[in-house]
Amino acid sequence: MQKNTIWPWFAHCIDMNPQREIREDKPITEVIMHSTTKRRNTSSGRNSTQLKLPLTSETTGRIRYLTYTMTAPPAATFLDNPRFHQTFSLPADAPRGRANPFTVKYADYGYRNETQPEQERILLFFSPLMASRLLLVTKDHLAIKHKIRIICTDRPGVGGTDPAEAKDRLNLWREAIPALLSHLSIPYVHAIVAHSGGTVYALDLLLHRPDLLLPQSDQPHQSPTYLALGAHGVDAARFGKGVVPARGQQEGGDAEQEEEGRAWEVKWEEGVWSGVMRRVYDEGVKGISEEASMLLRKGKSMKGGLGDWDDYDELVQRLREALAAAGRRLRVRVFYAEKDSVTGDGWSASKGAKWFDGCWEGAEDVVDYQSRTVQGADHDTIWGLRWGAIIRGV
């Protein structure tokens, strides 16, 4: 078979709407089987139809990649999608010291169902120190596939969000995130994912607003809200049984084809990543200095600790009380990188890992806590598709 016989006709059989490109109810083999080329039958003089594409794992993997790159183009074009560039204004509030409206830039992407919004699974993502709303957008197709809607903001002084001093950042975000969710008519979140410095914001928000978690009494068939933490990794799709529609266990060729498709998606993500980071820097990252001051507790304004708590061990015990009082439960999954120059290597012998795990002891009545190490990953790349943490458990 000539390699150039595949792509011209295949380009005509792909639905260019990314929310329908290869759905669960229309597997890739079905898409292929309905796509044929015509050739001249020299003996009869009539046109006949011939499938010229063998359904091997290599071919289906390449087709997934082709579909992916057709619906998710190179970074410069992909990042221009208006879903990644939305703004919201927090009203002025003089008693809180905010004389003018505060602008927050955010991304709202993944799966959308405006006629049946209850089908959306809301994931709130807190970026690492880079603090950009763009750091998870390469998971857009994955989110659509698994009916996940992702909300992520630029934090103060980064991208299109107004600046704020280190001492004001946590208090401001306790107010801004619930206001943004209300603006989007989102009453509860199904998952909160944090990476590196974003962990501070995620846990602080949970401590002060446990009412944002999915109520068990209202949704008895669903698992508790899922929290994936860390400098250590994210698991954006792993919400647990009943939250993300489960797919059956794949066997044989189907599993092999899925792995091939994944490999090409990894290739696409890593190919556009430099463009993502270039866009982040082009939009402005001046706020990172204040962000670092807050996280490192540098400067006179940060001597009192992180907001109204000093460290994770204190926060977890208060969080346990807040969850119990609100009638909420939480599933926490922490992913440590095998090699991490920032937080320490993620093996069980790591002092940092042992200490953080120990902070959650005594909260078992409202928190289901587990941690693991993602081998091969490092601090910055652990949430990449290459390491599989983000798709494991779907």
Give the domain ranges of the chain.
3-54, 75-387
What is the DSSP secondary structure assignment for residue 176, as one 8-state letter?
A: H
Residue 159 has pLDDT above 90, yes or no: yes
Task: Return the pLDDT at 262.
Answer: 66
Averaged over 164-169, what is the pLDDT? Answer: 92
The larger pLDDT score, comparing residue 29 to residue 115, is at 115
Averaged over 13-32, what is the pLDDT? Answer: 38
Residues 176-216 have pLDDT tens digits of 999 999 999 999 999 999 988 899 999 999 999 999 998 86
The answer to which of 223-237, 245-259, 302-316 has the lowest mean pLDDT is: 245-259
Residue 264 has pLDDT above 50, yes or no: yes
CA distance 304 to 291: 16
Residues 101-117 have pLDDT tens digits of 999 999 999 999 999 99
Where b means 16+ CB within 10 Å and e means fewer, 269-288 reads beebeeebeebbeebbbebb
Averaged over 128-136, what is the pLDDT? Answer: 93
Helix axes 57-71, 252-283, angle to 10 degrees: 30
Average pLDDT score, the chain: 74
Q: How confident is the model at residue 130 (pLDDT cuts 50, 70, 90)?
A: very high
Query: What tokens appear for 367 in the block?
Result: 């928190």
Q: How confident is the model at residue 266 (pLDDT cuts 50, 70, 90)?
A: confident
Task: Provide the 10 A C-beta neighbour count for residue 347.
Answer: 13
Residue 250 has pLDDT above 70, yes or no: no
Residue 241 has pLDDT above 90, yes or no: no
Averaged over 34-57, what is the pLDDT? Answer: 44
| CATH architecture for segment(s) 75-387 | 3-Layer(aba) Sandwich (3.40)
Task: Return the pLDDT at 24.
Answer: 38
> Rounded to 5 degrees, what are φ and ψ at 87?
-130, 155
Q: Please list the residues that pair with 38 across neighbouring strands.
A: 49
Task: Return the pLDDT at 146.
Answer: 87
Averaged over 223-233, what is the pLDDT? Answer: 58
How many alpha carbons fall within 13 Å on the CB side of residue 336? 23
The answer to which of 15-29, 117-131, 325-339 has the lowest mean pLDDT is: 15-29
8 A C-beta contact, residue 224 and residue 212: no
The answer to which of 50-59, 70-79, 186-195 has the lowest mean pLDDT is: 50-59
Degrees (nearest 5) of the Cα angle 307, 310, 312?
110
How many alpha carbons fall within 13 Å on the CB side of residue 308? 8
CA distance 3 to 261: 18
The answer to which of 223-227, 268-272, 345-349 has the lowest mean pLDDT is: 345-349
Task: Return the pLDDT at 259.
Answer: 54
Q: Please enumerate in sequence order all residues whose Cβ is within 8 A of that of 289, keeping only pairs 6 or more positions apart, or say none.
A: none
In sign, the C-alpha dihedral spanning 368, 207, 154, 295 is: negative
Averaged over 309-323, what is the pLDDT? Answer: 92
In the block, residue with structure tokens 């905010």: 98
CA distance 64 to 264: 7
The answer to which of 190-199, 220-229, 245-254, 327-336 has the lowest mean pLDDT is: 245-254
Where b means 16+ CB within 10 Å and e means fewer, 359-385 reads bbeebeebbbbebbbbeebbbbebbbb
The answer to which of 4-8, 142-146, 166-170 has the lowest mean pLDDT is: 4-8
Task: Return the pLDDT at 88.
Answer: 97
Q: Please enumerate in sequence order all residues whose Cβ is within 8 A of that of 335, keeping only pairs 6 or more positions apart, or say none.
A: 228, 229, 230, 232, 233, 234, 235, 371, 372, 373, 374, 382, 389
Task: Return the pLDDT at 344.
Answer: 61
The answer to which of 4-8, 238-242, 258-262 has the lowest mean pLDDT is: 238-242
Averaged over 296-309, what is the pLDDT? Answer: 72
Where b means 16+ CB within 10 Å and e means fewer, 159-170 reads bbbbebbbbbbb
Q: How confident is the model at residue 240 (pLDDT cuts 50, 70, 90)?
A: very low
**pTM listed for this prediction:** 0.74
8 A C-beta contact, residue 107 and residue 84: yes
